[in-house]
Structure 1
Amino acid sequence: MLRRPSFDRSSTPTGLAVFTICASNYLAHAAVLGASLRRHQPGTTLLVFLLDEPPEGTKLPEHVILLAAEMAFERTEWNHRRSHYSLLEFATSVKPACFRYLLDQGVARAVYLDPDIQVFQRLDQFWQGTANDPELVLTPHTLSPLPDDGYLPDDLTILRAGLYNLGFAALRDTPRVRELLQWWDRKLRTLCLEDVHAGVFTDQKWMDYAPLLVPGACVLRHKGFNAAYWNLHERTPRWLDERWWMQDEAGDAQKLVLFHFSGFNPDLKQLSRHESRFGWNLPGDAGRLFGEYAQSLLDAGIHRFRALGLPQVAFADGTGWDPVCRAVYRQALAKGVDLGDPLEDPAFLLWAAAEAPGDHLTRYLRAVLHMRGDLVNAFADGRDTVGLMTWMRTSGVRELGLDRKVVERLGMARQAQRISVNYVGYLQAHLGVGEAARNSVAALDAAGVAVHCHDISCDTPAPTGRYSLPAARWTSETPTATILGCNADMLPDVLSKLPAELLTPYRIGCWYWETPEFPSDWADRFEMVDEIWAGTRFIADAIRCKTTLPVNVMPPMVMPPPMQRDREWLAAMLPEIKQDEFVFLFQFDVASVPYRKNPEGVVATFVRAFRPSDAVRLIVKALNVQAAPTLIQSLHEAAAGHRVSFLTAAMESDDRFRLLASVDSFVSLHRSEGFGLSIAEAMAYGLPVVATDWSGNVDFTHAGNAALVPYDLVPSAVANGPYPAGTLWAEPKLEAAAKLMRRLWLDPAWRAQIAQAGQQTIVATFSASVVGPAMRDRLDQVAGLRRGQSAPQQRQSPQSGPKAAAARNAPLWARVLLDMLRYPGYYFVRLPRVPVLLWRHGISGVVMRAELVASTIVDVKGQYLVTRILTRLRERIHRWRYGGRRVR
């Protein structure tokens, strides 16, 4: 399909070549242009200079011929322009070279058309075929000034963009035209920039000089040439006598020759994304004109071609060239540095990965900070290495279009200690603990930790999905730790099925629990791990009452993928939803102790708060409904006659997030939450949330960022799942909840205020640049002590430093004896376990674990006494806080 490198002159039998330039995602436009050209200029073929390779199996009409734009350049120059420019800049920078290529092949006359043009009459009517024909033909944007009505475009916009619209240009082969093309191409080598405020707009602005450089140039004043949104103030499309005309204000009309549909999207009711004067209030018969063009694009497969996306520029090894690479490359050219072929020679990578004289950052990283000045203070001018790299691997990929592989090659990852961990979890399961595990893996990966994932989803009856997980960035024979992303109740079963290599490293249990009392029946689980990571302070307090192991608060990352609000998609799933309805969402897993999530309370509150005539709806999203069909039936009965919809199908991750992004508020009248991931995700999307003011979610919800529901603490009379009778639960006050839900609906100012504050809280607390470095800091400490090094400077204890280093070089028996004197509590409490600890970890492992325990206590002297005192104090506080039936 793609012709290279020869040109077949038989495609231009009249000596006239008509061509366009585009990438594969615009081939539907080119096909429509080619069909209109063939209809009104019989025998003429449209030549398409393609900027990328067409997808395999692409079929276009025979009157549309694809040529490789690359053949108009030497390879190094081609790669230079691809690297130096954005796609729009690149596509326009090759125009003079394509003109010159056609002239070199013997074409006497050439016409360029943008691909989003449609032809309605012969194009070459300005040429008579004589030596007196104009050498260059251009069309001005307008023939009269634009109205000063405050809309765009205006006269200043036109002056900045250029007097002539280069969506159309025609020339014939003469010496002066050859000189023009040479001058034009030389300018476009580095100055084909989309920067109207700097006085440059791609190839177009430069052609303001053209009538001066080519005295024989013709500026067409024909109103039917290059009609477009920018001149509809002076000419109106009319369908008369079975053809299209352009009529001026005086009533005079000229036949429409070509219409330029610049910025038009057939899926949107909008004249062009570049204008604000008309919108979809189209003048004359323009509605029919645009409707027919839209249908032609659809028939030509616009959605199929558009799905191909933009062509990607890449290094020779396939690593993507990102906008920061482009900025660094432009910087090099401005300094006169010759880097050869930026994509195939190593010079660019070496230059970008090096530090400029007097700088502590690579040129690549310095360019990132230039592009995002807010990062300078946020990451201490790049000295916060882990934080900056984490931001680049996550937010930077989305916000700046960074390429992850380039970040690793040209950033600071090479300077950081390479840490590797195993992560065991329900990584493909539709479970809250599975989502928390996936988010933690992503945060670790973003912080530069190589994560070797081990999925145990097959050990749960929960439905599974297709979740992408990061590949390990580095291999390691000795992982720093194995993180066990399963709760304490399942730990023995999980450990019994793990391969031996996952059991050897330091074990970290990543546990969630939802009540103030951690089950004493699970005390033996503390023997199976070396440390515990708790998602919230609420969980950590419950666990610390039962163990002397290190318990660190380590929440998961909360960064749901970007999703657009899509009420049409939501209405397709639930046809009863009206466009004007305010929609609350509540979701729970029927197989996971519904009592804790309190679905009955949510439905009862909604029924109490809103009349059936109110334009408010509640969506109840329930998973695993087969586990309790009577519960679902009772909810249906309680909601009868009200605007309550039920969604019970398992959703893939994208659809689950699309649902969350498409509603107006999230409600959780839970009796207890270990973390409250759904609440946090809703806040991340900027939704106002209604939530019970108790348990794990109070780490991130407060009166300024959420509608918090008061409650009573009440011990249960019966057991609920793994929670025994007597467990303390929050009983939300439904009357107060109903008032809050109604206020959210009626008070848009308050709704927007708490929604914005909530979103800011999640970004500041649970983004990858916060969570990932916190996890890495602790793993650095573990890794350092495993290697016999001191903990990182910011975490050093009084026992670190030169003396501590000398002590670690002493014989093992001396180290154990000294360690027992330092940390008597650790050894005394574990005295019955010493043989097991020595057999499992060896002397070095036991010493290392003792030091890690000590690093979590501020005063390591007399650690046993401190530990026991803290434990007893917590027990007394819990008895005092939760001993009565009504605490609040």
Structure 2
Amino acid sequence: MAAATTPTCVFTIVSKNYLHYALNLMESVAQHLPAAQRVVVLCDSTEGLESPPAGIEFLGIEDLGIAQVDRMLFQYTILELNTAIKPFAFRKLFEREALGSVIYFDPDIQLFSSGAPLLARLQQADVVLTPHLGAPLDDDRHPSDLSILQSGTYNLGFLALRRSADARTLLDWWSEKLRRDCVVDIPRGLFTDQKWMDLVPGFFERVCIERHPGWNVAYWNLQHRAVTQDGEGFKVNGEPLFFFHFSGYSIGSRAISKHQDRFELAQCSAATQQLFAQYVERLDRFGRSRYAAMPYAFARLANGISLPDVARKVLRLELLDQVPLPDLRTPAGAEALCTALLAPVDGLQPPLSRVALQLHRDRADLQSAFPDVRGAHRQAYLSWFAERAPIEAGLPDAWVQPAPGSPAAAPRPVAPAPGRQGATLFRTAYRLAWQSRNLLRPFTTPALRHKVRSYLVGRAFPPAATAPAAAAGVATAVPAGLNLIGYVKAESGVGESARATLRALRAVDFPLAVRDFQAGNVSRMGEQVEETAPADQPFAASLFHINADQLPLARTVIGEALFQVPRRIGYWAWELENFPAEWCNAFAHVDEVWVPSTFCQQAIAQRAPVPVLVMPHAIEIPAQVRPERARFGLREGSVAFLAMADLLSSAARKNPLGALEVYVKAFEGRQDDVQLVLKVSNGERDPAAMAALRALAARAPGVQLIEGYLDRPSLNGLIESVDCFVSLHRSEGFGLVLAEAMARGKVVLATAWSGNMDFMTAENSLPVRYELVPLQQDEGPYRRGERWAEPDLDDAAAKLRQVAEDAALRQRLGAQARVDCERQLAPAVVGRRMQQRLQLLLNLGEGA
């Protein structure tokens, strides 16, 4: 056959404890792809192994040419590492010039019929993939369509590539992604190496999506595939079974996979049961009892200390970017890594290590039970950690009770007094619940389990009555109060953000020192804010209202004094779903981060090694609104709309052109009773966007374009002169002007996505429908491929007309908007929230 003329290699990847699976796979490859080279890539050491069987080659992980391979060995779990090295293995094998194609199978796969159809596909396609599903999963079992979508459209237990420029490009791209992001992190849209492959059919032309029912049969598609057996062998939907994937099968289990609850083996067809029975026999023949007991070489460091998964996560998320480390395979590297992992995250007692803090971040029940893990709940959490982390997270003593002299060494946290709040009873109940968790799982929902665990943990390990002892020294060592450093004079959103915090803390008389910072900001600096300083030395806490990317510069410009205080806080915003990885070095300069919205919190917290708390912007609630319609050319009796944008903040994100277009769409041919004011600053920063705005405004009746800056009184007067504020933004960190308009009783019509949805509801505003779309190109700091909202212009236009035609609606929404802003965003309300947090951080009494 023509397909057989191209030399082919088939490989798999295993650690030693799975070698029997690989040997079984390779025997089936020898039978059904007899001309193929057979390679087993060992994601492990070769210690304790004999030479491979005839016809099989062992290739070690350190033979793959991976740069800084020691980082990969220890930053990933065994599952993650076995999948992360896949593209590197492909690349290494393609260095063998004779090979025309390379095929990967997971080790828990077995071939049952000729591979000639696969080789034929590789004569035409550069990439061959198999989808998890060929039809919907329409019952209430797991996995569902959604869970398959979350883990990846294509099953990467199989992948075949033909030597080509596109295959080489794919492997280069894929291997770079897997250096750091081959992880199981469903909330971030990642599932080991597999999820990335969803993009491949869109990236490359010659991709074959193989839907033959006999390929990659497994628990996820067995509902749609009938397995039978006749004299010719196993069939699937009447077609030959090419390969079966025994993913997640535990020998002796009633279920066909631990990853599903749809099938028990006894419920499957006789042919399926025969498949599994033969499979177990073959694994036993290939040395299951011997290989399954072999230890994983990278489970332990060179100093003999085992490295738990939570410690690997700290290494990947924090240490690789923050701490210089020797080769992690050496004793020196092992000691340096242990020192860094056990280093306390702050100077308080008892010490809280990086590993302990990461475990807290990884478990929602612990976050609910111990929300202030660095402060009031510190001792209680560490009591839980000492008693339960070895059991629930498999942490060895080295990570729970560090050796004397190590950075985190301290007396073992003492459990709460047995009688207090019935802690002993609840701890017994908690232990029983943990021991019964697998039995109860089929009868409970994840939400119920989380709620029960959070409740029992919190009651079993209640917080101490007082804050940690060392925190008491914070208030007396340096003056109690806050140093606020930021763009306080900038006429921009980041400047108003800093002034909002000033308003809040002044409303509650919190001790403050204010320092203006202007480096790196090109906005006009016209706001009048008096700088102040404490009499003798900086206050005990510093709050940096400075963008994360500018914080290292700020430290150089400002000097060390304001960074050497006991508490350092960054106030940051970010307008997309994923905080930029290149800005994560800024976390090294702060102990916690404040953000203006839950949207920002979700974006930043997923990368943050420090707490991220929502502290919304404080909005002035004027006692009286003073319209100046004549000053701004607004006719009495018209319904006036206002849109605003600072083009320094990205014209594409602020989308003033969308607001103008939707106004034209809504009121085409109508000009007597409606008007639009479009106020734009820093237009010279984006001449193309400004030209488009000028051109459309000139053609649109009833549109007035105001260019440049307005001082704060004039800007307030403009907002107070209109009836409705329009923002068809694509993303907002908070939406300051939206909130300011609502506080003045104005209707706000805005895209229903991102930070503004913390204070906008259908009862106090007009949220506009949207669709999340990927950015097609970089837009300032916002990178191609990230998502933001594309507002629905038809919905927006309909709502604009509704505002113009319904005076009662304008009155009702405006009144509710003002009430809600006063309740949530008034300076005294936000100030008390900030004050309470600062009092806790500095261990101050209520009188501070």
Q: TM-score range by the shorter chain?
A: 0.3 to 0.5
Normalised by the length of structure 2, the TM-score is 0.45
